Chain A
Amino acid sequence: MMATAAVFRAALALSLAIPPAAAQRLPWSSIDPKAAVALRAFRQTDHWVAEALEDNYDGERLGRHTEERRSYNFDPASDLRYRVVGMRQGAPPAVFLLFEWSPVRGNARPLASSCRKS
């Protein structure tokens, strides 16, 4: 009796958890948390790129685009490229951060820095 109830309950839980066949469950995407932590650590340094990232190029508009001109302030959603790479076995992965951002790049190649947890 107890076993039947348990099976029934498990079946109910399962049927609630599994969406119908046609439904599709999608995970949310985000930037790799390792890259986010590395960027935050990099921003604490006195590196000239880190200092440039904090500058406000937009005046009062603070990151908002206008019809005349797009925002120049650093926006990781559009200006950051990254890659988390295992460079040596047994060591924490290195995080490559690439700043495809005109204030530090001009029209030259983008700037890269590599951060490692230490």
Chain B
Amino acid sequence: MIRLARISVCIVAMTIQPASAQRLPWFGVDPLVADALGALRETDHWIATAIKPFHPPTVIEGRDDGAAIPSFDPTQHLRYRLVDMRPGTPRAVFLLLAWHSISGNGPSPGVIMQQVVTAAGRRWHIACEFRDYGLSLTLLDRRSHGWRHFRVASGEYGWRPATFTPDAPLPGGAPEGAMECVPLVLTEFPP
């Protein structure tokens, strides 16, 4: 009995940390965002081709230091945002590829990845492509088909049902519930 008590006291002492200890969670990219990026990479979209990694790293000809062309690195070049665009649907994933190799000194290209729930399971669908400078995106109060309008550097966007999924042509067209974002007001840029 005493032995049992001693063991349990020992266990309690080991599990409870001293008052001044501080427990921190690890940080990482939201798994839904990582999944959306993986789905984008599977497509034939020009961005997917542009962010395709080199293996082994390609060395620039004629450079003695053997400088390699850098591959796309999500830790440095990816901006993202999970947004509730319509209640009752999975959150849309905004991906912005803020990488000089593809954006130059203009706004960076980005896509919205929509997760469509079908009878066969969840599928990713590219809702549209846009451009932004990576500072902020604005959600507007207006909605079409229940989907919230938004504004980025390349303009203000509304929504309509999608008829096809870009760069992943399917025999039956876009899955039911797939949406497409369309520019409504083009903003002139650079200002």
Q: How many A-B residue pairs have CB under 8 A?
A: 111
Q: How large is the interface on B (under 10, 10 to 19, 20 to 34, 35 or more residues)?
A: 35 or more
B80 within 8 A of A: yes
Cross-chain contact B80 with A82 (CB below 8 angstroms):
no
Cross-chain contact A82 with B26 (CB below 8 angstroms):
yes
Chain B residues near A64: list those with CB within 8 A. Answer: 41-42
Cross-chain contact A77 with B29 (CB below 8 angstroms):
yes
Cross-chain contact A75 with B27 (CB below 8 angstroms):
no
What 1/0 flags go to A70-91 for Cβ under 8 Å of B? Answer: 1101011110111101000000
In the complex, what distance in Å separates the CA atom of A111 from the CA atom of B169?
Answer: 40
B136 within 8 A of A: yes
Cross-chain contact A28 with B73 (CB below 8 angstroms):
no
In the complex, what distance in Å separates the CA atom of A85 from the CA atom of B24?
Answer: 9
A29 within 8 A of B: yes
- With A63-B41, A82-B26 known to touch, is A22 a contact of B141 (CB < 8 Å)? yes
In the complex, what distance in Å separates the CA atom of A56 from the CA atom of B52?
Answer: 13
Which residues between 139 and 164 of chain B lie within 8 Å of chain A, taking CB atoms?
139-141, 151
In the complex, what distance in Å separates the CA atom of A82 from the CA atom of B26?
Answer: 6
